[in-house]
Amino acid sequence: MNEERMTPSQLKELGYKRGQYRHRILEALDKNGHNLSSIARLIGCSQANVSRVVNGKGHSKVVLAKLREMGVPEKYLFDPHKKEPLEQAA
């Protein structure tokens, strides 16, 4: 399932779930020597944009990919661009 085929309520649910794990996301980044500012610098966007994604208010493919690359476990990302993101919640 991808973002284009997801309903607004499904996208909201994924964002809510990611927001619930925001502390785990931040811990994973810290463990690997990164924070929201460093992620923003690496991809050339604002820290506010990265924060928005981590807090579940947005679903940027670029930010989610960089979080994944920087060691954040897939189970915390609830990425609507992945094949079956709602299965991550199970």
Q: pLDDT tens across 28-41, in order? A: 999 999 999 999 99
Task: Evaluate if residue 7 carries a pLDDT over 50.
Answer: yes
Structure tokens at 76: 């915390």
25, exposed or middle or buried, with CB in 10 Å at 0-12, 13-18, 19+?
buried
> Residues of the chain with pLDDT > 90: what percent?
80
Domain borders along the chain are 3-89
Structure tokens at 68: 């994944």
Q: What's the rounded Cα separation, in Å, for the pair 26 and 5?
A: 29
3-class secondary-structure state, position 57: coil
In CATH terms, 3-89 corresponds, of 1.10.287, 1.10.3470, 1.10.260, 3.40.50, to 1.10.260
On whether the CB atoms of residues 42 and 65 are closer than 8 A, the answer is no
Structure tokens at 34: 């990164």
Task: Evaluate if residue 85 carries a pLDDT over 80.
Answer: no
6 pLDDT band, cuts 50/70/90, is confident
